[in-house]
Amino acid sequence: MKLVLATLALSMAAAPAMAATGPFFSLGNTDFVVLLAFLLFVGVLLYFRVPREVGKMLDKRADGIRAELDEARGLREEAQSLLASYERKQKDVQTQADRIVSNARDEANRSAEQAKIDIEKSIQRRLTAAEEQIQSAQDKAVRDVRDQAVTVAVAAARQVITEQMTAQRADKMIDESIQTVGAKLH
């Protein structure tokens, strides 16, 4: 505390009115007063160990900055690893999406081919069924024509036989038939 009071007193004594009059080592010379004030100031700083405290504070600040840099470096590395991870995941997802699209496209093509085959089979079955129906209708028409022809032929034969048959002739035919059957049975 005494040192502070002495510094204050010396600074009051070095007023501008006394500046630069006389020899260098006198309180009247401003250069000498400034030199004394500076040396006194440096002495006060050294007495209170200010350089050591400033050094400690600077070291503490440097340690804090170093810790922040280390933390920032760690965060940067973590961010880079996260970015790399997300990029890998994005590539994996893109690959999976491409694979899904490719599989869907292949499945759609297979389904289209299967549908085409099924339609062809269906058309073939319908054509076969239509041909069978046509054949059946033709067979029925042929049977109907034959039946009609037989009916007409029988009717025509009956008419011809009735017109040409006499009682005498009928008796003769019956007798011949009986002889033929009798000969074949014995």
Q: What is the pLDDT of residues 61-110, one digit of tens each?
A: 999 999 999 999 999 999 999 999 999 999 999 999 999 999 999 999 99
For residue 12, pLDDT over 80 is answered with no
Q: How far apart are CA 164 and CA 124, in angstroms?
A: 58
Residue type at 3 in one-letter notation: L
Nearest of 5, 2, 1, 33 to residue 19 by alpha carbon: 33
What is the total count of domains within the chain? 2
Residue type at 112 in one-letter notation: A
For residue 160, pLDDT over 70 is answered with yes
For residue 51, pLDDT over 80 is answered with yes
Q: How confident is the model at residue 149 (pLDDT cuts 50, 70, 90)?
A: confident
Structural domain includes residue 31: yes
What mean pLDDT comes out for the span 34-42? Answer: 94
Structural domain includes residue 12: yes
Structural domain includes residue 26: yes
Q: How far apart are CA 44 and CA 4, in angstroms?
A: 8
For residue 13, pLDDT over 60 is answered with no
For residue 4, pLDDT over 50 is answered with no
Structural domain includes residue 169: yes
Is 28:22 a contact under the CB 8 Å cutoff? yes
Structural domain includes residue 21: yes
**What percentage of the chain has pLDDT greater than the value 90?**
51
20 or 170, which is more confident = 170
Domain of residue 160, residue span: 148-178
For residue 30, pLDDT over 60 is answered with yes
Structural domain includes residue 72: no
Q: What pLDDT is attached to residue 100? A: 95
For residue 17, pLDDT over 50 is answered with no
Structural domain includes residue 139: no
Q: How confident is the model at residue 163 (pLDDT cuts 50, 70, 90)?
A: confident
Contacts for 84-91 with beta carbons within 8 Å, 24 or more apart? Answer: none
Q: What pLDDT is attached to residue 10? A: 54
Query: 82-96, 125-139, 156-170: lowest mean pLDDT where?
Result: 156-170
Structural domain includes residue 119: no
Instruction: Kindly report whether the global pTM for this prediction surpasses the value 0.75.
Output: no
